[in-house]
Amino acid sequence: MKFFVIGKRKNNIEQEKFAEYADEEAKKAVALFKEEFIRELYSIKGGKGACMIVEANSEEEILLKLSDLPFVKNNYLDIDIIEVKPYRGFV
């Protein structure tokens, strides 16, 4: 199944805390991309977070895979997971 995942930085987390883990976060995100779990990945303008398209069997699988990311591990993000399907005009 395909999901949109939006991770937005919590307002009470300073930029310095994000910067501390940014390189490790990027490295782990690229690894999930190479595994073909993350299909597309985008930064939200202004350093407010990221959004991605992922392939998974469930929301639980998504949360498990993302739990290794430093920003998720440290509870720096609010995460929304939205299951999507092809637009009805295309099927």
Which tens digits make up the pLDDT trace of 42-83? 999 988 899 999 999 999 999 999 999 999 999 999 999 999
pTM, entire model: 0.88
Structure tokens at 72: 């998720």
Residue 1 has what pLDDT? 94
CB 5 within 8 A of CB 54: yes
Is residue 44 within 8 A of residue 78, CB to CB? The reply is no
Give the burial class of 63: count Cβ atoms within 10 A of its Cβ; 0-12 exposed, 13-18 middle, 19 or more buried.
Answer: middle
